[in-house]
Structure 1
């Protein structure tokens, strides 16, 4: 069985692994699509928290069930599935409250344990979502878009609120499209004008702002001096995450969707004056996957335009380095098997 291993920063190698077998309550999934995420790119460059080497990357996954262990009557061999890559303990204080997305012993495929950048993977059947009604591309994209759905749900965003989404990468775009599903007015902020145009055409952002020294003034004008009700930072950039405090309305909420391997600082008097609520948003739950699935079924998410780059499994290593370049124009890259 072929697999791609990240041995160390800046090192991806194709190796042969053992063909897996499944036990009771498990399934062997033949991987057909692998989405490439910022997590994979950061791991490749040595900037990913909660990560160790060597590691098989890959957590945005879809495929077909090849074998089933005992106790899996709700699924069938040959069925198309999406994989929920968050392996929770089910016992800790977070899990007991239904917050399996931030389990104290969280194991994420492709981060804490080996992921799906291989021909086959064994996973517990409870991590599988039947996806016969979705394309393989759609099924693989449930995971990254569910991160945005979770952030929006956690924020308490309401219809009629104004949401600022900083960062027009694949996660930020997911936040935008799900915020629009809530009936919010969306403002997109990014450094790249072409990305902002895509936010308008793909995610329905009503306004855009170029990040920089004039951003605050533009936001004041766009919100009648109030600033946005909810700000989502999906950049994973410490400077942007600190600056985001300045863009949030009095009584508003700031949500960190992106993750950075650094400390974040802010001016406490301003934080208190505005009585801001600061939230972290991690991963997603099955409820968020279902919300994205419903949006896809309703025709509200155009996966064909969301995926901008593709490579066959055998060509992925050669293509990977190019996907790191901003000049490549990558929004979402997908590996096909």
Structure 2
């Protein structure tokens, strides 16, 4: 395929440029994907505002979906066809370290956000481009939903990994702290795991949505003591699982206090700033409490996320807050960083 494409390049904090560059040439083992839509994750928002330090110039975008437009001669034609709609998994794992080789690409030792992907003019994750070369192992089929909804595949896959890390059981009391998109996806999946979900946020509108999505209880911690309320709801036991989806270290300290004996606390978010927190090691020891971290997702998570979205197991329409044309990426980024939306999506 000949011609040029547009790529959005971060050149510095609050600076992004649309540049023309050649459409990548397809090698024997390559799949060329025409990107249909890409959501703006909090990660890219932090790059844009300068909170997340990267070396500029940098191409963002990792919550992306598109259509196969060309394939190399060695791509398995039994599995893939031109025209198929696909979610694109992040291509940042090395595929060779111990963790990758044991099926845990989400924990790759050399996970590199600044990898220089083949066919792109600058380093970065590549979703803010009209075309992208993708190895077939990083493609996941979807159908029956819009590209804008399908951009939620990557966030959903990460939350799938989180909920399975916690091993949520039927009847568990699950506390979800923070009702942004990631928190609400934890609500959705925990409800489907048969848990009694308690959602906590200071935003009343988001608590209302959490209730609509299946949360049994909602708590505004600015109005009532969260730990006391969780104890009351659980009959004095405390939560079996606590998901902290906020980036605030002090909230992590509060989250730990809400866990009951043999409970699990999952720290889902990145923390900005990364400030140490205090907890009682003796309480942790005697209560057999587990503090767990989770980040990213792997191929298994992506497969299941696309299946769940395609078959309507989860409805992510409420999370597509705004859609912008690719040419308006600066306006889209400015809207996203206001913090009052779930996902702002770029339509290519």
Aligning the two structures, in what range does the TM-score lie when normalised by the shorter sequence?
over 0.9
Whether the aligned pair in 2 keeps the contact of 1:100 and 1:285 (CA below 8 Å) is yes
- Per mean C-alpha deviation after superposition, the further-off stretch among 279-288 and 263-272 is 263-272
Q: Is the alpha carbon distance of 1:241 and 1:24 closer, same or farther for their aligned partners in structure 2, counting shifts above 3 Å?
A: farther
The match for 1:82 is: 87
Does 2:42 match 1:31?
no
RMSD (Å), alpha carbons: 2.0
Does 2:215 match 1:205?
yes
Alpha-carbon separation, structure 2, partners of 1:136 and 1:61: 9
Q: Is the alpha carbon distance of 1:143 and 1:110 closer, same or farther for their aligned partners in structure 2, counting shifts above 3 Å?
A: farther
Unpaired segments ≥5 residues, structure 1? none
The Cα shift of 1:108 comes to: 4.4
Alpha-carbon separation, structure 2, partners of 1:121 and 1:272: 49
The match for 2:48 is: 44
DSSP 3-state at the match of 2:185:
helix
Alpha-carbon separation, structure 2, partners of 1:90 and 1:306: 31
The match for 1:269 is: 282
The match for 1:140 is: 151
Aligned length: 333
DSSP 3-state at the match of 2:69:
strand
Alpha-carbon separation, structure 1, partners of 2:335 and 2:146: 26
Does 2:71 match 1:68?
yes
What's the TM-score once normalised by structure 1's chain length? 0.92
What's the TM-score once normalised by structure 2's chain length? 0.89
Greater than 6 Å deviation, 4+ residue runs: 109-112
DSSP 3-state at the match of 1:240:
helix
Does 2:285 match 1:281?
no
- Per mean C-alpha deviation after superposition, the further-off stretch among 51-60 and 261-270 is 261-270
Whether the aligned pair in 2 keeps the contact of 1:245 and 1:266 (CA below 8 Å) is no
The match for 2:198 is: 187
The Cα shift of 1:86 comes to: 4.0
Unpaired segments ≥5 residues, structure 2? 117-122
Question: What are the Cα deviations for residues 271-305 of structure 1, in whole angstroms up to 9, with x where unaligned?
Answer: 33322111111111222223333433443322222
Whether the aligned pair in 2 keeps the contact of 1:34 and 1:61 (CA below 8 Å) is yes
The Cα shift of 1:48 comes to: 2.7
DSSP 3-state at the match of 2:164:
helix
